[in-house]
Structure 1
Amino acid sequence: MKQIKLLNLVLTNFKGIKHFELNASGGNVRIYGDNATGKTTLFDAFVYLLFDKDSQNQKEFGIKTLVAGKVQHKLNHEVEATFLVDEQELTLKKVFSEKWTKKRGSVTADFTGHTTDYYINGVPSKKKEYTDKVASLVDEDIFKLLTSPGYFNEQLHWKKRRDLLLEIAEDVTDQDVINSNAGLSKLADVLSGRSIEDHKKVIAAKRKEINQELDRIPIRIDEINRNLPDVNGLDKAGIESQLTELNNQIEAKQGQISDIRNGSEVNNIRKQISDIDLQIANAKNEHAQQGQQELYGLKARLQEEQSNINILQSKIKSKDQQYQMNKEYIADLTEKMDRWRSYWQEINSREFTHEADCNCPTCGQELPQEQLEQARDKALIQFNADKSNELERYKNKGLEAKANVEKTQAENEKIDFEIQKLKSQIDEKQAQVVKIHSKINESESSVKPIDENPLYQKLVQDRQALEQKIYEMQQSVETSIQIVQSEINELMGRQSALNIDLSKLAQSEQSQKRIIELEQQEKDLAAEFDQLEHELYLAEEFIRTKVNLLEDKINSKFKFARFNLFKENINGGLEEICDTTYNGVPYSSGLNNAARILVGLDIIQTLSDHYGISAPIFIDNAESVTNLPEFESQIITLYVSERDKKLRVEATKEYAKSS
């Protein structure tokens, strides 16, 4: 087992204590003091040194010294402790200081924040190194469980207390629970692979959904009943029979009107009108062919001549482009000829000059006259040859360019001639277009409209006469038709009323069917709810059985403390809890301070054995306890003593065994 003991604890300017040194030397000590003398502050400093919190697990708490209710500034607030960890000494120190900064141009410093310095065995350390060192000793939550008798029951959430107890007792398996209770044999099939907790959640969700649906069904049935139509005295078969008879009567009346409207004489006249319509169409076609044939031919010639003009204009544009390209080519050649002529004249004007070195390059003596003349003659020959070649080259360039200019000029003369010829052709074509336009205008003005055609006029008059005859015949039968139509309207009114009654019967039948469906759904949901209730009972019976097994197993680990892990509610359901009791009295209500400390120490002893760690235990308000059990852990007890106005430390070797 890892043993952690406190050798020494020093407070400087911490929560009003200017300086105090606790020399525990790894043994048990008793600390006496009146109220507000700083007993709890020692435990606060101890926890702060390790975890930046006070003994109540609060991160935010005041550690500065107050004078007349105001903070005393520019003090270092220090806590230093020396531990014996498995026979190895370890010193930890933490210094909390104010930071004062003098701004540029200012003669006074301003408070700008706080700094915390960390030391391990007297060596300055970074915060991470410090926290890692503390963490290597023991986990924060475990340390608090092992050092404060009240932490488990007063600060740890009940679910975490429960989980910790299950961890200590080594939780029983679900199969163990099922095997211990024959009534749970069907539970495995009900769970379908889900955990008890997950299945309870499923049941709760389904029960809520079913309850909501069961609440809605009566409302739906009531709404349907309130909207049911009155069908008293209505007979579906009789209504359908009457509708069939009315439909037959209406159909017969409509046939009667059709017969009146479609008399044989009217049909004959309509046939004559159709024949006349065909003759009118033929007359229009013949008139159009006679008047338009010559006009169509003229328009076709006009289109052809305009197309020819476009072709000729396209040819002119192409030749004009070639003409312009040739002009640019001639201008370029002319410019080059001028430049080459200047080069030829410049070369032709060159004079031979010779300047030779009269001394021998080897010995430096003056060369003979004969050698000098030979060198000059050789240079002259070379000069003349080069000059002749240059003149010949530029002469040939000029002659070649001149020939190309003359050739291109001749080509442009030919192109110009062809362009003029094409323009002449365009003029001729345009003259033809003017003539054709004139002929088209004459032809269009000479064509007579169809309304002036005698045959067309006669056919139209004959058709109008026939239509007038039909109108007169129809007026004579309209009175008969109106009488029959009035009878049809009356029949259709009776038909509409019967259809309304029939729809009422259909609506009522559908509503009754829906009510039956809802009532069956209500029964099915009730049955499903009963099944869920049974499954919930099995789940809670499982929990009850498991908790009984666990409570016996857990309670066997403790000497004084006992634990209830569930309670049974009024409705018979089980609610998971984690309540600590001592001699049947709940820790949270009715248990005195001495019993609370005793229970807390009992829990610490079991947790120390479980985690394999022994740490210093701080017992506040220890004056209420007359006998404390023996512990392997170091115990620091804090007693309220009215006569001790300053903290007094008393070492003790052991505590009396509990009876």
Structure 2
Amino acid sequence: MNIIFLSLNLENFKSHQDLAVNFGEVTKITGDNAKGKSSIQEAITFLFYGTDPLGSKLDPTPITYGAEETKVSLLLSIDGKNLLLGRALKKGKAQYYINEVPSKAGDFNELVEKLFDKDLFLSLFNPNYFFSLHWEKQRAMVLQYVTAPANKEVLKELPELQGNRLGELLKKHSLNDIEQIHKENKKKKDKQYIAAQSRTKTLQEQLDQLADPKQDIDSLQVELGAIDKQVRELDNKMDQAFEKNREYDNVRSKILNLQDQIEMSKERWPLLKNEAIDDTCRTCKQPLTEEAVEAVKADKEQRMAEYKEKHNALLKQREELKKQMTELEFKDVSELRNKVAEIDEKGQPLREAIRIHSQYEGLKTQVKNAKADESSTLQALNDSIFVLDSIKAFRAKEAELQSEKVQALFETLSIKLFDQQKNGEIKNTFEIVMDGKEYKKLSLSEGIRAGLELREVLSKQSEAVAPVFIDNAESITSFTQPSGQLITSTVIAGQELKVEAVSQ
């Protein structure tokens, strides 16, 4: 975009009741102090934004006289197309004009915003404006047109190990995500490593308290195996004896039970044998017939026969069990039990030795596993530390490369974009230095030269050419001709206001 001012008309603007300014490639404004030179610059920024050249609110009303209306009109060319803009203040109310047509504030402001960015235009128009911005805004404006170094470009500049490691990780995640992942992992592994060290130390102390058993575990186990075999063989014999004794006790129990039944049977016999035969009815006491008496006798004989049959069966069954018992033998296992205890006792020292050996070897294994876990945890921890350090190195190198790109745009100014903290972190900043001095310490002429160089960079990078207004031009004796129209304001003692347009 190429912006050219053609003419400016002021009506009742501050000290100017009626002023017309025609601009050339170079426009020289001269005059003594308080003759309204700076008001010409203020009128232009008031027209666009209602502010002074530094972006502060501006009151354009007359100072030494009264007027109902204040008006500013500017004819300018935008890429070869003329545009006439106007802003007026009548009885405290703002009025706007686009090509002499009264317009709404929204339409006017929208048009101005589409023409050019406010901060960019004011930075191009007023060499001091850029330095009035907050450093973050200054930084953003300078970097807006400078592409950041590509990841591959930065990785190439890092040490090989760091570059390769980050290169693999960047295939899956962004740098910020990688940092977040490994910060969290470092925090977790820090705790795990402390716990792993503590566990290893505790297990090692327990192991150190045990004497190293020198016995051959295989020979101990063989010896104990032989003893256990003897015990098992004796246990088998005892089990067999217990089985025989259970059978013996079972037969004996059956005999005793039968003997009880036989005794009870004997007690019933006299009662049955001596039972009287009644010849009268038990209920009505009437004499029984001969036939009935014979039936009673027959019933008794039958019951006696049944008794003898059952009693003899019990006797026979008892005799069979007694005969069976003679074939059985009750075995005394107390000797076997004592022998088992005696042999098993011989195995106790071996079992204790094997237990101690097993405990020792188990602790050795736990210590080994704990050390392996500690080592793997430390490796994971160190990997995250390495990645985080690599990210710091990446950002430092990225900042360095970006700073080199930006610095290459300037001839005399030094630009600082980053600060490296004590912990290696890179923090954004923005400082402009000229001849080793910060901007705020520059003289008036040095500040103007710094502003001119800065605006040239912004103009080239944004491809926007706008007029520049140098106030207090008498303080700067020489400077490089800026791009775009040049408007200078110079104090000449005793001279009335004079505006001279010069074509080069």
Category of TM-score, reference length = shorter chain = 0.5 to 0.7
Given that 2:392 and 2:424 are in contact with CA atoms closer than 8 Å, whether structure 1 keeps it comes out as no
What whole-Å deviation, never above 9, does each CA across 1:308-355 have from its counterpart, x for those lacking one?
A: xxxxxxxxxxxxxxxxxxxxxxxxxxxxxxxxxxxxxxxxxxxxxxxx
**1:64 corresponds to 2:61:** yes
**1:554 corresponds to 2:406:** yes
Shift of 1:527: 10
3-state SS, counterpart of residue 2 of structure 2: strand
Structure 2 distance, partners of 1:621, 1:592, is: 12
Given that 2:13 and 2:62 are in contact with CA atoms closer than 8 Å, whether structure 1 keeps it comes out as yes
Partner of residue 292, structure 2: none
What whole-Å deviation, never above 9, does each CA across 1:615-643 have from its counterpart, x for those lacking one?
A: 11111222221112123300111223343
Alignment of 1:490-639 (within 5 A): 534-588=386-440, 590-639=441-490
Shift of 1:530: 7.7
Is the alpha carbon distance of 1:84 and 1:192 closer, same or farther for their aligned partners in structure 2, counting shifts above 3 Å? closer
Is the alpha carbon distance of 1:151 and 1:129 closer, same or farther for their aligned partners in structure 2, counting shifts above 3 Å? same
Is the alpha carbon distance of 1:573 and 1:160 closer, same or farther for their aligned partners in structure 2, counting shifts above 3 Å? same
Is the alpha carbon distance of 1:16 and 1:200 closer, same or farther for their aligned partners in structure 2, counting shifts above 3 Å? farther
Given that 1:74 and 1:97 are in contact with CA atoms closer than 8 Å, whether structure 2 keeps it comes out as no
**1:82 corresponds to 2:57:** no
Aligned counterpart for 2:138 among listed residues 152, 161, 165: 161
**1:131 corresponds to 2:109:** yes
Shift of 1:585: 3.0
Structure 2 distance, partners of 1:614, 1:554, is: 20
Structure 2 residue runs of 5 or longer lacking an equivalent are 192-375
What whole-Å deviation, never above 9, does each CA across 1:434-478 have from its counterpart, x for those lacking one?
A: xxxxxxxxxxxxxxxxxxxxxxxxxxxxxxxxxxxxxxxxxxxxx
Please tell me the residue identity of whatever aligns with 1:23. Answer: N
Please tell me the residue identity of whatever aligns with 1:187. Answer: L
Structure 2 distance, partners of 1:533, 1:591, is: 44
Partner of residue 46, structure 2: 48
3-state SS, counterpart of residue 489 of structure 2: strand
Structure 1 residue runs of 5 or longer lacking an equivalent are 99-113, 214-523, 655-659
Is the alpha carbon distance of 1:23 and 1:181 closer, same or farther for their aligned partners in structure 2, counting shifts above 3 Å? same
Shift of 1:131: 2.6
Say which structure is richer in helix: 1
Structure 2 distance, partners of 1:205, 1:34, is: 67
Partner of residue 32, structure 1: 30
Partner of residue 499, structure 2: 649
Given that 1:148 and 1:619 are in contact with CA atoms closer than 8 Å, whether structure 2 keeps it comes out as yes
Partner of residue 20, structure 1: 19
**1:186 corresponds to 2:131:** no
What whole-Å deviation, never above 9, does each CA across 1:536-562 have from its counterpart, x for those lacking one?
A: 433332122112212222222233333
Structure 1 distance, partners of 2:387, 2:87, is: 58
Given that 1:190 and 1:535 are in contact with CA atoms closer than 8 Å, whether structure 2 keeps it comes out as no
Identical pairs, percent: 27
Shift of 1:210: 11
Partner of residue 355, structure 1: none
Partner of residue 232, structure 1: none
Calculate the aligned-residue CA RMSD, in Å. Answer: 3.7
Given that 1:168 and 1:554 are in contact with CA atoms closer than 8 Å, whether structure 2 keeps it comes out as no
Partner of residue 397, structure 1: none
Please tell me the residue identity of whatever aligns with 1:120. Answer: I
- Normalised TM-score (structure 2): 0.55
Partner of residue 97, structure 1: 90
Shift of 1:653: 4.2
Partner of residue 409, structure 1: none
Partner of residue 515, structure 1: none
Shift of 1:127: 2.6
- Normalised TM-score (structure 1): 0.43
Structure 2 distance, partners of 1:144, 1:177, is: 35
3-state SS, counterpart of residue 613 of structure 1: coil
3-state SS, counterpart of residue 61 of structure 2: coil
Is the alpha carbon distance of 1:115 and 1:150 closer, same or farther for their aligned partners in structure 2, counting shifts above 3 Å? same
3-state SS, counterpart of residue 480 of structure 2: coil
Partner of residue 5, structure 1: 4
Shift of 1:76: 0.4
Structure 1 distance, partners of 2:49, 2:3, is: 16
Is the alpha carbon distance of 1:206 and 1:642 closer, same or farther for their aligned partners in structure 2, counting shifts above 3 Å? farther
What whole-Å deviation, never above 9, does each CA across 1:351-401 have from its counterpart, x for those lacking one?
A: xxxxxxxxxxxxxxxxxxxxxxxxxxxxxxxxxxxxxxxxxxxxxxxxxxx
Structure 2 distance, partners of 1:210, 1:54, is: 58
Structure 2 distance, partners of 1:538, 1:121, is: 59
Is the alpha carbon distance of 1:196 and 1:145 closer, same or farther for their aligned partners in structure 2, counting shifts above 3 Å? farther
Structure 2 distance, partners of 1:607, 1:579, is: 16
Given that 1:567 and 1:577 are in contact with CA atoms closer than 8 Å, whether structure 2 keeps it comes out as yes
Structure 2 distance, partners of 1:532, 1:586, is: 39
Structure 2 distance, partners of 1:5, 1:123, is: 21
Structure 1 distance, partners of 2:52, 2:178, is: 41
Given that 1:118 and 1:127 are in contact with CA atoms closer than 8 Å, whether structure 2 keeps it comes out as yes
3-state SS, counterpart of residue 132 of structure 1: helix
Structure 2 distance, partners of 1:578, 1:14, is: 37
Given that 1:82 and 1:92 are in contact with CA atoms closer than 8 Å, whether structure 2 keeps it comes out as yes
Given that 1:11 and 1:80 are in contact with CA atoms closer than 8 Å, whether structure 2 keeps it comes out as yes
Number of equivalences:
322
* Deviating more after overlay: 635-644 vs 49-58: 635-644
Structure 2 distance, partners of 1:206, 1:16, is: 69
Alignment of 1:140-151 (within 5 A): 140-151=118-129
3-state SS, counterpart of residue 56 of structure 1: coil
Structure 2 distance, partners of 1:593, 1:533, is: 49
What whole-Å deviation, never above 9, does each CA across 1:454-505 have from its counterpart, x for those lacking one?
A: xxxxxxxxxxxxxxxxxxxxxxxxxxxxxxxxxxxxxxxxxxxxxxxxxxxx
Alignment of 1:264-279 (within 5 A): none
What whole-Å deviation, never above 9, does each CA across 1:274-308 have from its counterpart, x for those lacking one?
A: xxxxxxxxxxxxxxxxxxxxxxxxxxxxxxxxxxx
Given that 1:8 and 1:82 are in contact with CA atoms closer than 8 Å, whether structure 2 keeps it comes out as yes
Given that 2:155 and 2:394 are in contact with CA atoms closer than 8 Å, whether structure 1 keeps it comes out as yes
Is the alpha carbon distance of 1:174 and 1:624 closer, same or farther for their aligned partners in structure 2, counting shifts above 3 Å? same
Is the alpha carbon distance of 1:633 and 1:567 closer, same or farther for their aligned partners in structure 2, counting shifts above 3 Å? same
Structure 1 distance, partners of 2:449, 2:121, is: 19
Partner of residue 421, structure 1: none
Alignment of 1:397-476 (within 5 A): none
Structure 1 distance, partners of 2:176, 2:126, is: 32
Given that 1:179 and 1:185 are in contact with CA atoms closer than 8 Å, whether structure 2 keeps it comes out as no
Given that 2:467 and 2:485 are in contact with CA atoms closer than 8 Å, whether structure 1 keeps it comes out as yes
Is the alpha carbon distance of 1:150 and 1:538 closer, same or farther for their aligned partners in structure 2, counting shifts above 3 Å? farther
Given that 2:47 and 2:86 are in contact with CA atoms closer than 8 Å, whether structure 1 keeps it comes out as yes
